[in-house]
Amino acid sequence: MAAFSTDEGDSFSSSTHRGDYDVFLSFRGEDTRHGFTGYLYQALCDKGFKTFIDNKDLQKGEEISAELIKAIKSSMISIIIFSQNYAFSTWCLEELTKFLECKKNGQTVLPVYYKVDPSEVHKQEGSFGLALTTHEKKFENNIEKVLRRRVALYEPASLSGWHYEDGFPEYQFIQGIIRVVC
Protein backbone atom coordinates (compact mmCIF):
# COMPACT_ATOMS: atom_id res chain seq x y z
CA MET A 1 0.00 0.00 0.00
CA ALA A 2 1.26 3.50 -0.76
CA ALA A 3 -0.25 6.85 -0.08
CA PHE A 4 0.32 9.94 -2.17
CA SER A 5 -1.29 12.37 0.23
CA THR A 6 0.06 15.84 0.73
CA ASP A 7 -1.47 19.01 2.03
CA GLU A 8 0.88 20.99 -0.16
CA GLY A 9 -1.59 22.28 -2.75
CA ASP A 10 1.08 24.43 -4.29
CA SER A 11 2.88 23.58 -7.45
CA PHE A 12 6.64 24.04 -7.56
CA SER A 13 8.60 25.06 -10.59
CA SER A 14 12.29 25.54 -11.15
CA SER A 15 11.47 28.77 -12.99
CA THR A 16 10.29 30.35 -9.71
CA HIS A 17 13.23 29.04 -7.70
CA ARG A 18 15.06 31.47 -5.44
CA GLY A 19 18.12 29.45 -4.37
CA ASP A 20 20.87 27.25 -5.74
CA TYR A 21 18.76 24.07 -5.72
CA ASP A 22 15.17 23.21 -6.40
CA VAL A 23 15.29 20.02 -4.31
CA PHE A 24 17.58 18.66 -1.61
CA LEU A 25 17.42 14.90 -0.96
CA SER A 26 18.19 13.65 2.55
CA PHE A 27 18.64 9.90 2.91
CA ARG A 28 20.73 7.18 4.52
CA GLY A 29 23.08 6.15 1.74
CA GLU A 30 23.45 2.49 2.65
CA ASP A 31 19.65 2.08 2.71
CA THR A 32 18.54 3.75 -0.52
CA ARG A 33 21.39 5.39 -2.51
CA HIS A 34 21.63 2.71 -5.19
CA GLY A 35 17.89 2.13 -5.45
CA PHE A 36 14.98 4.34 -4.51
CA THR A 37 16.92 7.58 -3.90
CA GLY A 38 18.97 7.13 -7.06
CA TYR A 39 15.79 6.65 -9.08
CA LEU A 40 14.10 9.64 -7.46
CA TYR A 41 17.17 11.81 -8.11
CA GLN A 42 17.24 10.82 -11.77
CA ALA A 43 13.50 11.42 -12.19
CA LEU A 44 13.79 14.90 -10.66
CA CYS A 45 16.76 15.76 -12.89
CA ASP A 46 14.91 14.43 -15.94
CA LYS A 47 12.08 16.88 -15.14
CA GLY A 48 14.56 19.76 -15.05
CA PHE A 49 14.89 20.17 -11.28
CA LYS A 50 18.32 21.14 -10.00
CA THR A 51 18.63 18.50 -7.30
CA PHE A 52 21.23 18.18 -4.57
CA ILE A 53 22.28 14.67 -3.64
CA ASP A 54 25.22 14.22 -1.32
CA ASN A 55 28.53 12.98 -2.57
CA LYS A 56 30.19 10.32 -0.43
CA ASP A 57 33.29 12.53 -0.31
CA LEU A 58 31.31 15.32 1.36
CA GLN A 59 30.66 13.29 4.50
CA LYS A 60 33.77 13.47 6.61
CA GLY A 61 33.35 13.66 10.37
CA GLU A 62 30.20 14.12 12.39
CA GLU A 63 29.54 17.78 11.80
CA ILE A 64 27.78 19.05 8.71
CA SER A 65 30.16 20.97 6.51
CA ALA A 66 29.56 24.60 5.62
CA GLU A 67 29.07 23.47 2.00
CA LEU A 68 26.24 21.16 2.99
CA ILE A 69 24.55 23.76 5.19
CA LYS A 70 24.67 26.19 2.26
CA ALA A 71 23.06 23.58 -0.02
CA ILE A 72 20.30 22.95 2.53
CA LYS A 73 19.60 26.66 3.03
CA SER A 74 19.61 27.36 -0.70
CA SER A 75 17.10 24.64 -1.58
CA MET A 76 13.45 25.36 -2.21
CA ILE A 77 12.22 21.87 -1.28
CA SER A 78 13.73 19.24 1.01
CA ILE A 79 12.67 15.63 0.61
CA ILE A 80 13.52 13.52 3.63
CA ILE A 81 13.62 9.79 2.91
CA PHE A 82 13.11 8.07 6.25
CA SER A 83 14.41 4.51 5.97
CA GLN A 84 15.19 1.79 8.50
CA ASN A 85 18.64 3.14 9.42
CA TYR A 86 18.08 6.88 8.83
CA ALA A 87 18.15 7.82 12.53
CA PHE A 88 21.39 5.93 13.19
CA SER A 89 23.21 8.53 11.11
CA THR A 90 24.24 11.60 13.10
CA TRP A 91 24.69 13.26 9.71
CA CYS A 92 21.07 12.62 8.68
CA LEU A 93 19.72 13.86 12.00
CA GLU A 94 21.77 17.04 11.77
CA GLU A 95 20.44 17.60 8.24
CA LEU A 96 16.92 17.08 9.57
CA THR A 97 17.34 19.74 12.25
CA LYS A 98 18.58 22.18 9.56
CA PHE A 99 15.58 21.41 7.29
CA LEU A 100 13.16 22.20 10.06
CA GLU A 101 14.96 25.50 10.75
CA CYS A 102 14.71 26.34 7.03
CA LYS A 103 11.02 25.35 7.01
CA LYS A 104 10.39 28.32 9.32
CA ASN A 105 11.78 30.52 6.52
CA GLY A 106 9.50 29.09 3.85
CA GLN A 107 11.32 25.98 2.64
CA THR A 108 8.95 23.12 1.80
CA VAL A 109 9.77 19.91 3.66
CA LEU A 110 8.30 16.67 2.31
CA PRO A 111 8.79 13.40 4.22
CA VAL A 112 8.89 10.00 2.52
CA TYR A 113 8.59 6.93 4.73
CA TYR A 114 10.44 4.27 2.77
CA LYS A 115 9.65 0.79 4.05
CA VAL A 116 9.14 2.13 7.57
CA ASP A 117 5.94 2.79 9.44
CA PRO A 118 5.49 6.56 9.90
CA SER A 119 4.37 5.97 13.49
CA GLU A 120 7.81 4.49 14.30
CA VAL A 121 9.37 7.79 13.31
CA HIS A 122 6.81 9.95 15.10
CA LYS A 123 6.67 7.83 18.27
CA GLN A 124 10.42 7.15 18.08
CA GLU A 125 9.92 3.41 18.35
CA GLY A 126 11.58 0.45 16.63
CA SER A 127 14.85 1.29 14.90
CA PHE A 128 14.24 5.02 15.48
CA GLY A 129 13.96 4.55 19.24
CA LEU A 130 17.03 2.31 19.28
CA ALA A 131 18.99 4.86 17.25
CA LEU A 132 18.10 7.69 19.61
CA THR A 133 19.10 5.59 22.62
CA THR A 134 22.44 4.96 20.90
CA HIS A 135 22.89 8.70 20.32
CA GLU A 136 22.02 9.44 23.97
CA LYS A 137 24.83 7.15 25.10
CA LYS A 138 27.26 8.56 22.56
CA PHE A 139 26.44 12.19 23.33
CA GLU A 140 25.67 11.89 27.04
CA ASN A 141 27.65 15.10 27.65
CA ASN A 142 25.58 16.99 25.07
CA ILE A 143 21.98 16.16 25.90
CA GLU A 144 20.82 19.33 24.10
CA LYS A 145 21.99 17.84 20.79
CA VAL A 146 20.05 14.63 21.47
CA LEU A 147 16.89 16.54 22.46
CA ARG A 148 17.12 18.62 19.24
CA ARG A 149 17.26 15.39 17.27
CA ARG A 150 14.28 13.92 19.12
CA VAL A 151 12.24 17.04 18.38
CA ALA A 152 13.38 16.96 14.75
CA LEU A 153 12.14 13.38 14.35
CA TYR A 154 8.85 14.21 16.02
CA GLU A 155 8.06 17.33 13.99
CA PRO A 156 7.47 15.64 10.61
CA ALA A 157 4.37 14.11 12.22
CA SER A 158 2.60 17.38 11.47
CA LEU A 159 3.67 17.28 7.82
CA SER A 160 1.89 15.41 5.10
CA GLY A 161 4.01 12.95 3.16
CA TRP A 162 4.20 9.58 1.47
CA HIS A 163 4.42 6.07 2.82
CA TYR A 164 6.00 3.44 0.59
CA GLU A 165 5.64 -0.24 1.38
CA ASP A 166 6.87 -3.29 -0.51
CA GLY A 167 4.58 -4.47 -3.26
CA PHE A 168 3.89 -1.08 -4.82
CA PRO A 169 6.02 -0.34 -7.91
CA GLU A 170 8.75 2.17 -6.98
CA TYR A 171 8.49 3.82 -10.38
CA GLN A 172 4.81 4.67 -9.84
CA PHE A 173 5.52 5.86 -6.30
CA ILE A 174 8.29 8.16 -7.53
CA GLN A 175 6.01 9.53 -10.26
CA GLY A 176 3.50 10.44 -7.54
CA ILE A 177 6.19 12.46 -5.74
CA ILE A 178 7.27 14.12 -8.99
CA ARG A 179 3.65 15.19 -9.71
CA VAL A 180 3.49 17.02 -6.38
CA VAL A 181 6.91 18.65 -6.79
CA CYS A 182 6.02 19.81 -10.31
Q: Is 113 helix (H, G, I), strand (E, B) or coil?
A: strand
- Domain residue extents for the chain: 18-181
Q: How many CA atoms, within 13 angstroms, populate the side-chain half-sphere of residue 78?
A: 29
Q: Mean pLDDT by 10-residue block, N- to C-terminus, for the chain (182 residues)?
A: 38 52 92 91 95 68 73 94 92 89 92 92 90 84 79 78 86 89 84
Give the residue ranges of DSSP H helices in 57-169: 66-73, 90-103, 118-123, 126-138, 143-154
Q: Give pLDDT, residue 150.
A: 80
The topology (CATH level 3) of 18-181 is: Rossmann fold (3.40.50)
| Residues, the chain | 182
Q: Structure pTM?
A: 0.82
Torsion sign (Cα): 16, 72, 145, 30: positive
Catalytic residue flag (residue 95): yes
Instruction: Give 45-55 pLDDT, tens digit per residue.
Output: 999 999 999 86
Catalytic option among 8, 95, 136, 170: 95
Instruction: Give 66-76 pLDDT, tens digit per residue.
Output: 888 899 999 99
Q: What is the DSSP letter of 179?
A: H
